[in-house]
Amino acid sequence: MSQSTTTCRSSQNQLDTSADRVRAQTVGIPAEGYHFELTLLPDPALVHGVRETTANFVGRAGVTGAVAGDVVLVVSELVTNCILHGAGDICLRVWVVAGTVRVSVADEGTGQPGIKNVGPDAVSGRGLFLVASLASNWGTGEGETWAEFSYATPAKDVA
């Protein structure tokens, strides 16, 4: 799946000043696909709205069931990681194209995310392990952390 050449804009231009402070733009992309992009401030109060926006988007794009739930959970984990460990505005992109959902999260930080080896009593540090467990494929690089999910597309009737 090719990556988008557009970038998230400054939060001053993208964030709504209303209570939810999240605005999504949905646009069609090639191969019968869909994409949305959010730019948001690193505010934990926004994570709930991001989960709802993502769930609504993937549902409208035809992704349902366990895969939809996994996508929403991974988006929540990745955005939360940016809030806790990153810097500056957060850019979330979600693509749904031909049996694949791709999630990409980036911030302005310079750190390199990675799976931590945490003990059984640790109360945090398992986010990327969870991402790796749920996603078909995932990785980090060039300022982003991404995950992909495969899903069955409905058969089209041939009349």
Under the banding of pLDDT at 50, 70 and 90, the label for residue 27 is very low
What mean pLDDT is reported for the chain? 79
Cα–Cα distance measured from residue 42 to residue 51, given in angstroms and rounded to the nearest whole number: 15
> CA angle at residue 73 from 48 to 124, to 5 degrees?
90
- Residue 78 burial by Cβ neighbours in a 10 Å radius (0-12, 13-18, 19+): buried
pLDDT in tens, 107-121: 998 888 877 777 777
pTM: 0.78
Cα–Cα distance measured from residue 39 to residue 7, given in angstroms and rounded to the nearest whole number: 10
| pLDDT for the residue numbered 8 | 65
Share of the chain above pLDDT 90, in %: 52
Q: Which residue has the tokens 């945490």?
A: 118
